[in-house]
């Protein structure tokens, strides 16, 4: 299954300092990644934040992977 984060992750200069957010909400990609890194399961996140979906969490992971890939490619070009 192929998905794209581009329809889920939004960046608005006036919201959360321009950080990437989920579907124009105030929850950032970094919030979700931090919760996952702290050991929260997807189910725990969805229980604590019912406005989120499983697809939102996967979009955050895809966004982070894409950003890491871009940094690696960019650094390799230097």
Predicted local confidence at residue 69, as pLDDT: 76
Q: What is the mean pLDDT of each run of 10 residues along the chain (78 residues)?
A: 82 94 96 98 98 97 87 60
From the CB of residue 36, how many other CB atoms can be counted at a distance below 10 Å? 17
Q: Which domains does the chain have, with CATH numbers?
A: 5-77 (1.10.10.10)
**Sequential DSSP letters for 6-52:** GGTEE--TTSGGG--EETTSS-BHHHHHHHHHTT--HHHHHHH-TT-
pLDDT at site 56: 97
What are the residues whose beta carbons fall under 8 Å from the beta carbon of 64, sequence distance 6 or more?
29, 33
Pairwise CA distance, residues 56 & 49, whole Å: 11
The pTM assigned to this predicted structure is 0.83
- Tokens 């321009």 sit at which residue? 18
């Amino acid at each position: 299954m192929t998905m794209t984060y581009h329809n889920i992750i939004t960046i608005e200069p006036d919201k959360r300092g321009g950080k990437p957010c989920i579907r124009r909400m105030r929850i950032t990609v970094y919030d979700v990644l931090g919760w996952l890194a702290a050991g929260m399961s997807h189910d725990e996140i969805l229980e604590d934040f019912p406005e989120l979906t499983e697809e939102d969490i996967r979009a955050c992971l895809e966004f982070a992977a894409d950003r890491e890939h871009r940094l690696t490619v960019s650094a390799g070009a230097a």
